[in-house]
Structure formats: C-alpha cells, structure tokens
C-alpha cells in the first residue's frame, strides 16, 4: 500500500490490480486491448504507461482510479473534462485565427509533454 514516505510505483500497483482482479498480464492485455509486451514492460519496470493506457486500465479495472494509477506511474492525472467545458473550449478555439490556433496547439502540447517528463 502507498504511504507518503514510500509511494507505490506502477509495478507495485499493477501487482495489486492483478491480485485484486485475479488476472494475468495476458488477461489485462486482452481486456484492455493493450499489448502483452506493453503490460510486461510495466511489470518489469522498464517503462510506465502513457495516460491513454492509464485511462483504459482505470475504466477496465474500476477499483483503481485514474489518479491512483497516474500517481504510481509518475504522471500528472488529467483533470475532468465535462461535455460543457469541452464545448466551451472548442467554441473559444473556433474563434481564433488559424495562426492563433496553431500557436495554442503548440502551447497545449508543450504543457501536456511537461506533465510526462521527469516523473517516471
């Protein structure tokens, strides 16, 4: 289990998930559509999953939240995005010039990338 002094890493949380759901690496892969080789790299601490895989794991194995899995993977968990917020942001974006849209896309990607660096 996690504590502030010794937080759980992704391999540890994955071991708990496997025990809790009584599943193997192959079964995780089958249920999520993620390759067995990817799951295996997580188990052996060679890599941590991307946020898309974390989301899929959280949806498939709901006893483990996206935040909990993200923390263990050393990734910042994305904030919630309601349909209203999605529509509002898209509306703002549609009002920008093409050049402004391109600049905003570059900035957003840089922020997303910074969430993934230096934490895993």
pLDDT tens, residue by residue, 52-99: 999 999 999 999 999 999 999 988 878 888 999 999 999 999 999 999
pLDDT tens-digit readout, 77-86: 788 889 999 9
Q: Which of 102, 22, 11, 87 is nearest to 49 (CA)?
A: 11
Opening angle at CA 79, ends 114 and 106, nearest 5: 40
CA-based diameter of the chain, in Å?
52
Distance (Å, whole) CA 83 – CA 23: 34
- The pTM of the full predicted model, rounded to 2 decimals, is 0.70
pLDDT above 90: residue 117: no
Domain 10-73 top-level CATH class: mainly alpha
State the average pLDDT over residues 18-38. Answer: 97
């Amino acid at each position: 289990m996690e504590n502030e002094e010794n937080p759980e890493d992704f391999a540890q949380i994955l071991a708990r998930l496997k025990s809790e759901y009584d599943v193997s690496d192959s079964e995780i892969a089958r249920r999520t559509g993620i390759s067995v080789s990817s799951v295996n790299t997580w188990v052996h601490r060679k890599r941590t999953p991307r946020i898309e895989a974390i989301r899929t794991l959280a949806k498939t194995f709901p006893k483990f939240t996206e935040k909990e899995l993200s923390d263990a993977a050393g990734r910042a968990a994305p904030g919630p995005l309601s349909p209203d917020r999605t529509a509002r942001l898209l509306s703002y974006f549609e009002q920008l010039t093409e050049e402004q849209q391109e600049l905003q896309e570059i900035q957003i990607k840089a922020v997303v990338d910074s969430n993934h660096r230096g934490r895993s």
